[in-house]
Chain A
Amino acid sequence: MAEVAALTRRAPAGSDGPLLAVENLRVRYPMMGAVRAALQGQRNRFLDAVLDVSFTLKAGTTLALVGESGSGKSSLGRAIIGLVPIHSGYVRFLGKEPALHGMTRDYRRNVAMMFQDPVSSLSPRRSVRSLITEPFIVHGLSRRDLAAEAKRLLALVGLPADFASRYPHQLSGGQARRVGVARAVALLPKLIIADEPTAGLDVSVQGEILNLLTRLQRELGLSYLIITHNLAVVRHVSDETAIMYMGRFVEQGPTADIFARAAHPYTVGLLGAQPKPDPDRRRDYVALMGEVPSLARRPSGCEFHPRCPHAQEICRREVPPVFELSSRHRHRCYFPATAG
């Protein structure tokens, strides 16, 4: 652990500024291939999975991205790490813009990803030792004592040393998740993007994985971008929360503020739709009816207006700008539930 401590003490360049700054980011996907569009003689259409997203993430903190499926939260995570191309906008890491020159190797070392499905994101034909030391080989660090590194990583994520020779099918959901964590922290990154880190886990195991992430954050000074739809978990583990709807941040701010003073009707609806584990406290069913519209048919004005109980004429016409409730708590709604 001495090496770990030494590395975390290395002061990040520009330590007053944010670790990650995202400005007006847009990710768009073509609706058909370029060849097919040309053959059919029409201009290709696009859909915007992420639209005009801006946020900053301070070192050592956790930001939760919350939204329903199709809200663009995974696309945003993938765009930040360079797995899908950025259409416009900026991603700045420690003040520098890695995206301009392609994602540099240094950036890839500092930003790691934990993928959604722990079992299918691990190659079934490789042992745990091989899986968790793969990052060293990819980054040309294979001269290190890989067996020792594997032992260190397994201990760090709380798995017994003899797990090194196991294969992914011999792991439970929680253990596979721990291997995913070990892969992500192998190169001591500064930021980990965790896509649904606890989806599909039982509540007791979910607690174990989140506690592991919290401990590693404390020990290694990590920052997290947690992509999830589980608001019950977000409340406990994140410092800041952003609510996404059809690619936009409709509300963002300190987690406590989002839960205590939600402004956007969508946030209010999502909070009301959470299951209440109490037979005498029913969740608020009327809160959100219907489903997220298709991104190919983006509603005019405020994208949420077809499902919004408070929608008025202006909501159908104009995209709401960003309103500030406080310096950190922002939303995009003309008629917020809480005023500044």
Chain B
Amino acid sequence: MALPAEAQAGFDPVLQVRDLSIGFRTPRGHVAALRHVNLDVPRGSIVGVVGESGSGKSSLALAIMGLMAGNAEILGGDILFSGIDLRRLSPAGLRHLRGRRMTMVFQDPMTSLNPVRAIGRQMIDIQYREQNLSIAQKRRRSADILRRVGLPDPEQQLDRYCHQFSGGMRQRIAIAMSLLEEPELLIADEPTTALDVTLEAQIIQLLRDLRQEFNTSILFISHNLGVVAELCDHIVVLYAGEVVESGPVREIFYRPAHPYTQALLACDPARLDLVQRELPTIAGDVPNLMRVSVGCVFRPRCPRAFAPCTSVPPPDVALEVAHQARCHLLTDKRDG
């Protein structure tokens, strides 16, 4: 499944996800949450994973971090982090990477920060690996990183608790904590969904600056097309557990190839130039992942579905450099 650009020498991905499938055991049966997912994060780039609720984007992030729920299992595929096969790593080996070389920022900082510990304490706690540093030195490092993410008076802030900060400040603190060890990969799972647009703009700007400063690669998970368009270099579109399209940001936004990507873009009210009361929607519902059909996963909702979509799994069709989509319509076009 190597993309053309990656075949070239010098391609140095931080993260490679190969043919990853994840299932959940539930009382009512097996849910095929992710099926044969491929994804690359080149070093220093920001890759966006876009999908609606239930598309499996959070499952993907948690699988990479080794934080999956107890009833989830990896059914096949590989996750390579800087060449290290994460699936074959021992729990201790994974702990060595996690929180240091790869870190994660969650959606809601109110629930990801400890409410009964001052943030300075939490930031000192997560530096437990640095045995050569004194508490005072760790505290100074914490204050430094808080300053880098734009928190005023960081020395004083260290003694405050998470409820004493506003939502935007809390998310800045969470990002600061994730950057403390200068990770190679930062996974951000909807980090701006709980914030107002004005704060969202500031957090996006912060992530962009931090990429420059730390050369951290970012896997940015979002359902907000506007945010992804602004921040990401490369976009992966997930639908019902499958990557239906992936490509450079301009390809996805200007030349979307998959009918789902096209429908998703058409639904965004911010993209409608003329005012209209009746807003576009995608007819139908997300498929039940307990019974995945043989053919195309988007067929029941696709306005352009035809005979092969029901019975034949659509192939990944390469369109442009690093742009591919999983759709029968595209093979048809090629042959014709």
Contact = CB atoms under 8 A, between A and B. Distances in A.
Q: Do A and B come from one complex?
A: yes
Interface of A: 68-69, 172-173, 200, 202-208, 210-211, 214, 229, 231-233, 235-237, 255-256, 269-270, 273-280, 282-283, 285, 287-289, 291
Contacts of A270: 197-198
Interface of B: 52-53, 166-169, 193, 196-202, 205, 223-227, 229-230, 249-250, 253-254, 263-265, 267-272, 275-282, 285
Contact of A279 (B166, B249, B278): B249
Given A214-B277, A269-B198, A285 B227 contact: no
A288 B168 CA distance: 13
B229 A275 contact: yes
Contact of B52 (A202, A208, A211): A202
A68 B263 CA distance: 29
Given A204-B52, A277-B226, A236 B268 contact: no
B197 A202 contact: no
Given A211-B281, A237-B277, A288-B201, 14 more contacts: A68-B196, A69-B167, A204-B267, A205-B52, A236-B277, A270-B198, A273-B198, A273-B201, A274-B270, A276-B229, A278-B271, A282-B230, A283-B230, A287-B201
B275 A291 contact: no
Contacts of A202: 52-53, 223
Contact of A210 (B205, B263, B279): B279
Given A235-B269, A256-B275, A274-B226, A207 B280 contact: yes
B29 to A, nearest CB: 16
Contacts of B201: 273, 275, 283, 285, 287-288
Contacts of B265: 277
A208 B281 contact: yes
A280 B250 contact: yes
18 contacts: A68-B198, A172-B53, A203-B269, A204-B264, A204-B281, A206-B267, A206-B269, A208-B281, A229-B197, A231-B197, A232-B270, A270-B197, A273-B197, A273-B201, A274-B197, A275-B224, A287-B198, A287-B201
Contacts of B253: 277-279
B227 A275 contact: yes
Contacts of B264: 203-204
B189 to A, nearest CB: 15
A319 to B, nearest CB: 22
A239 to B, nearest CB: 10
Contacts of A278: 229, 253, 271
Contacts of B166: 291
A270 B196 CA distance: 10
Contacts of B225: 203, 277
Contacts of A173: 53
A256 B276 CA distance: 12
Given A203-B267, A283-B230, A275 B280 contact: no
5 A-B pairs closest in CB distance: A275-B226, A207-B279, A232-B270, A202-B52, A207-B281
Residue among B264, B277, B285 with most chain A CB within 10 A: B277
B230 A275 contact: yes
Contacts of A280: 250
Contacts of A256: 275
Residue among A173, A233, A277 with most chain B CB within 10 A: A277
Nearest to A275: B226
Contacts of A279: 229-230, 249-250, 253-254
A279 B264 CA distance: 16
A278 B199 CA distance: 19
Contacts of B280: 207
Contacts of A287: 198, 201
Nearest to B252: A279
A236 B250 contact: no
Nearest to B301: A204
